[in-house]
Amino acid sequence: MAHFTTSDELFQRIVDMVHTPETTPIQQPLHDTLVLVCQTALADSPLIFGNLFAQVDYICQKAHCTAADTHAIQHMRRMSNRSEKLTREERLQALRALALLVSAAFKTPIPATLVGLLPEREATPITATHIDYRYMRGIVQRVSVDSITLLIDQTVRENPFTVKLQPHQHYLLDIVQVGHQLNLIDVNTAHEAAIIVFEPDFLVDISSIAHCFTDYGHHPFAYLLHAFEPSFINQPILLGYFAGAALDDIINQKGDYHWQETLKKSFKEQALAYCACKDFNQKEDFKTAAIRQTQHIESIVKALFDAPLSHLTAPTGEAVYNRNKAVLEPSFVCEALGLQGRVDLMTTDFKLLVEQKSGNNFNLQRQQPNSFGSYQLENHYVQLLLYYGVLRQNFNVSTQHIAMRLLYSKYPLPGGLVAVNFYQKLFREAIAQRNRIVAHEYRFGKQGFQGVIEALSVDMLNEKKLETPFFKHWIAPQLNGIIAPLHALNPLEKAYFERMVSFVFSEQLAAKVGAKEGITHSVSDLWNMPLAAKKEAGEIYTDLTLAEKRKSKPMHGYDILTFNVPQQGENFLPNFRLGDLVYLYSYAENEVPDVRKALLFRGNLTEINSRQLTIQTANPVALDGKCWCVEHSSSDITTTSALKSLYTFITTAPHLRQLLLGQATPRADKTIRLSRSYHPMYDALIEKVFQAQDYFLLVGPPGTGKTSMALQFMVREAMAKQQTVLLMSYTNRAVDEICEMLQSNAIDYLRIGNAYTCDKRFRSHLLSECIEAQPQLSAIRERLRRQTVVVGTTSTLQSKAFLFDVKAFDWAIIDEASQILEPQLVGLLSHLPKFVLIGDHKQLPAVVQQDAEVSAVAEPLLHDIGLTNCRNALFERLITLERQHQRTDFMGTLRYQGRMHPAVAAFPNAMFYTEEQLQPVPLPHQTAERLAYDLPSEDALDEALKQHRVLFIPSKKSHEVQASDKVNWYEAQLVAQVLRRIHRFYGARFDADKTVGVIVPYRNQIAMIRQAIEPLGVPALENISIDTVERYQGSQRDVMIYSFTVQHRYQLDFLTANCFEEGGHIIDRKLNVALTRARLQMICIGCEEVLKEDALFKKLIAHSASITHRER
């Protein structure tokens, strides 16, 4: 890929910052430029670096920078994160260091014009501080036989710093290499660390670590088998859901508890799971078991909070704990230990920590203490120890202050509540297990999954060499049931599975630590990204105050919270959408919000506007904070779902495996005919869909009616043939569009999903709403059995795969298939006898964090089946296979588009759809010779708008150093003026939802354009849609404006990041989407001198009519 960034541009940015008035902060442009230097220098590197600390260290080492220069550059990086004002000397020293980095990265001297503006050398040595021995972050510089030397991310006297390894830490020598990052916790004067955490930005869920502590061993691959194991439902799992809900309700309802209400709630939330449970009421009556659990929980909660029992006495001498301070399922992020998790119950004064378990505990059952002299199970003990470790690290909670309890709700008091103490040796072993897990996942993501399958065995996992009847006849067969199918894979299947698993782990690595900080979003942005950068990206709300609190249920705590949103800063535009999963937490006024120092409450955004936002939390929130913050929450569900999906596919029926791996020919039955004619432009294609017996690939270019027409006709024909069909799409927005099509055609359907992410118009069709009408298990099962059409997102259906145990489908239709990666889809397809994929591989693809070079496939075996890059969708690979085999029975293209006027469609047709040769239907608006702009022209721009359906308006650069490169004030003014004119031309016909829309590459420009619209005094324009290309895919307007926004050559890298070559043509997917949203007129506005640096943009400008707008 060509890179447009030059050292000249970067040096010029430094010159601009030198001349910035001292009253204007430069930290944000300083940070942005640092990110840009690192992005360019590392653009062709396949390595995943994560934070800027590692990126800068790598660049400096590669360029052989001196120790003094490296320290100065790292100090500059830290200064760019500061919120307080820099002194003049600090500014100049920071800019000198930045110039040194540019010089090193581009192997070019600093220009003489800049040298004269900067200090010759460090005017004064950087002030060293004492080392914070409680916590040190460093990058490994050298590994010895009994020590590790690190560059510490602090301005300290002793840097590099050598930590001596204690005997129990020598395992680190097998996993730590130069360049890795470590956290050193509680370092003593002998340079020994109590805890060493490997790659701490990679958060591991505490429950994943606990999975490795089994009765037969502590092997880190135990978590891997758990990740592969397909999800299933049985009565103990359902009882666990119920017991968790019962604890919540008993705590919240404070004595006025009714188990029936919990059962109703549990059934409504887990209706599909109840329907799919094959052993329901078989071994034990569910209701009886549920009542017993609630009785035990009630007595335990009473003992904890109401009845003074001596063995429950708190360490401080109090007899009971404060119920008013009890919180349920708060989450934690602990970067120091590299952990994340969610505890069942604790008190906000940190005096009580409780983890609940609803299943069997044979130690209690047999009254046989374990090796610790107590009755808890080891994996549960590990889980609680790690939760305490997080509290100690995040909040300085001592073991003397907190009581740790394991609540075994299957058992009555006193056995049902087990008191545990902190056990340092086991805690250290748990952290070591965490480090091994991360080392394995780094290896899988960076080096591949090869060799793992061969190594997996029951003997490997059975570290204790158990030979008990229980292990031999129960545990070993379960383990072997997961492992044996992997050993049976043929070479192609094995190569496919290994490459895709490696891709999933690599993607997880990028999602957790960031492929490169500042460029890709990651979980570690929560603590690595400066607050100013979060604000610019719209990733955080701060200074929220509680406006209203409500209860979702009468006997519940406050879980629907509305907050007032104050001014979040100039040009702030939130990157939050309805239904988003978020962290809500409080923080002290006048402090920087930090997820690592707060109890985090997970919830969904249910309402959002410029003045207020509403969150429904999973559990009631402790509302003792005055100042609140909202950030995006994270989850490992995407990775675990993808791994389970791949395992499900690779162990499914041989025919499907052979089919999708190109080893079997799809079948067709040419005798099948449609039951009726639906539309002459669609009939032949729909008939081919039904003749295909295994799969069909439908290419739906923009405006060809793939949802409104093709999908509708397929569903109608399926109903006529009495076939059941599952309709899926990647996004909730697309599923909403499918629901809209079904409702407008009076087709009954059932939607699987939750209310937060479903448009209000379609919520009555949700399964949860159907339960309100008929809350009986038999009624829900019957409703599912007779339902012809079921709808949902692919991610929802993947997480609820037990639906297929309840209902069989004849086939499925997956829309937006070109945006769905193979690991996200193949598991679902394993449950279906036939599927249709609808998409357009020339529009925006699936979002992938890792670079294309990293996701590229090298194995010839996989090239033979069309798999050249894991970032390509299954839809695209199957199209490649069909073309290779010159088959036409299993794919088709919709060629008649009813959206764009031929003049608007001309450029996309010529550049992107040469093979498809799209034709107008034609609809009336496609045959109109002129635009209906009948008012007299005010100037040349008005005349140009009236005369040309495709127009380019040159913009110019906005020279404001403190402003982000992602905004262009001058261009925003131009956009506003064009909008004013279009509104004038349309008059009474103007409809904010249909007439005009604006596409921008950067979200920051949206706020700038809205600011430019406001002074016009045209209320209708304030409601038009202004959004990014990604958000506009699937939408259309009469008139579209594309504000390119860019002002520098380097920004072309971002604009052209989604390109591929087909038939000698460069297909720019992002540009294609932008140019195919308009029905009547397409207007592009941009800086011509920059855009012409790209060949395709240059052709677009040449194709378009052009005019220079002179301000009146």
Q: Which of 30-44, 56-70, 380-394, 848-862 has the highest mean pLDDT?
A: 380-394
Nearest to 586 by CA among 610, 617, 611, 556: 617
Cα–Cα dist 741/712, whole Å: 7
Note whether 4 and 1090 are within 8 A (CB): no
Q: Where are the domains of the chain?
A: 7-115, 532-633, 642-748+790-894, 902-1106
- Residue 250: C-alpha distances to residues 247, 299, 323 (Å): 5, 10, 11
Cα–Cα dist 692/689, whole Å: 5
Cα–Cα dist 7/1048, whole Å: 12
- pLDDT greater than 60 at residue 602: yes
- pLDDT greater than 90 at residue 908: yes
Note whether 1024 and 1035 are within 8 A (CB): no
Specify the pLDDT at position 365: 87
Lowest average pLDDT, out of 191-205, 393-407, 562-576, goes to: 562-576
Phi and psi at 482, nearest 5°, equal -85, -40
- Residue 510: C-alpha distances to residues 445, 487, 535 (Å): 9, 29, 22
861: number of Cβ within 10 Å: 16
- pLDDT greater than 90 at residue 761: yes
Amino acid at position 115, single letter: V
Q: Is 276 helix (H, G, I), strand (E, B) or coil?
A: helix
Specify the pLDDT at position 314: 47
- Residue 662: C-alpha distances to residues 665, 677, 819 (Å): 7, 34, 21
Residues 6+ apart with CB under 8 A from 66: none
Predicted confidence band of residue 156 (pLDDT cuts 50, 70, 90): low
Predicted confidence band of residue 308 (pLDDT cuts 50, 70, 90): low
Cα–Cα dist 1097/1090, whole Å: 10
Cα–Cα dist 316/331, whole Å: 25
Note whether 697 and 890 are within 8 A (CB): yes
Cα–Cα dist 20/575, whole Å: 29
CATH architecture of 532-633: Beta Barrel (2.40)
Matching CATH number, 902-1106, of 3.40.50.300, 3.40.1790.10, 3.30.420.40, 3.30.1330.10: 3.40.50.300
- pLDDT greater than 70 at residue 1076: yes
Specify the pLDDT at position 662: 96
Specify the pLDDT at position 318: 44
Q: 393-416 burial, b for 16+ CB within 10 Å, e for fewer?
A: bbeebeeebbbbbbbbbbbeeebb
Which residue matches tokens 């404060």?
A: 322
Residues 6+ apart with CB under 8 A from 1069: 842, 843, 844, 845, 1058, 1059, 1060
Specify the pLDDT at position 1112: 36
Average of pLDDT values for 1030-1050?
93
Specify the pLDDT at position 387: 98
Cα–Cα dist 584/605, whole Å: 10
Specify the pLDDT at position 102: 95
Six-digit token string for 611: 């003045």
Phi and psi at 614, nearest 5°, equal -125, 135
Note whether 793 and 810 are within 8 A (CB): no
Average of pLDDT values for 1000-1018?
92
- pLDDT greater than 60 at residue 316: no
pLDDT, one tens digit per residue, over 494-532 is 999 999 999 999 999 999 998 654 556 889 999 999 898
Residues 6+ apart with CB under 8 A from 201: 50, 51, 181, 335, 338, 512, 513, 524, 528
Q: Please report which helix (H) or strand (E) contains residue 139, including its range.
A: strand 135-143
Cα–Cα dist 148/130, whole Å: 20
Specify the pLDDT at position 295: 96
pLDDT, one tens digit per residue, over 793-819 is 999 999 999 999 999 999 999 999 999
Note whether 749 and 715 are within 8 A (CB): no
- pLDDT greater than 90 at residue 51: no
Specify the pLDDT at position 116: 86
Predicted confidence band of residue 37 (pLDDT cuts 50, 70, 90): very high
Specify the pLDDT at position 393: 96
* Helices of type H across 271-402: 271-276, 286-305, 362-366, 378-395
Nearest to 522 by CA among 790, 248, 753, 202: 202
Q: 814-839 burial, b for 16+ CB within 10 Å, e for fewer?
A: bbbbbbbbbbbbbbbbbbbebbbbbb
Specify the pLDDT at position 254: 74
Specify the pLDDT at position 319: 45
Note whether 223 and 209 are within 8 A (CB): yes
Average of pLDDT values for 58-77?
90
Q: How is residue 46 annotated by DSSP?
A: -
Q: Which has the higher per-residue pLDDT, 1109 or 284?
A: 284
Cα–Cα dist 129/851, whole Å: 38
pLDDT, one tens digit per residue, over 440-454 is 999 999 999 999 999
Phi and psi at 361, nearest 5°, equal -135, 100
Average of pLDDT values for 184-201?
96
What topology does CATH give the domain 642-748+790-894? Rossmann fold (3.40.50)
- pLDDT greater than 60 at residue 312: no
Whether 532-633 and 902-1106 share one fold: the answer is no
Predicted confidence band of residue 317 (pLDDT cuts 50, 70, 90): very low
> What is the average pLDDT score of the chain?
92
Predicted confidence band of residue 54 (pLDDT cuts 50, 70, 90): confident
pLDDT, one tens digit per residue, over 82-132 is 888 899 999 999 999 999 999 999 999 999 889 889 998 765 555 555 667
Lowest average pLDDT, out of 496-500, 553-557, 661-665, goes to: 553-557
Cα–Cα dist 1075/740, whole Å: 25
Q: What percent of the chain has pLDDT over 90?
A: 76
Which residue matches tokens 């680190």?
A: 172
Specify the pLDDT at position 773: 73
Q: Which has the higher per-residue pLDDT, 312 or 840?
A: 840
Q: What percent of the chain has pLDDT over 70?
A: 96
Q: 782-802 burial, b for 16+ CB within 10 Å, e for fewer?
A: ebbeeebbbbbbbbbbbbbbb
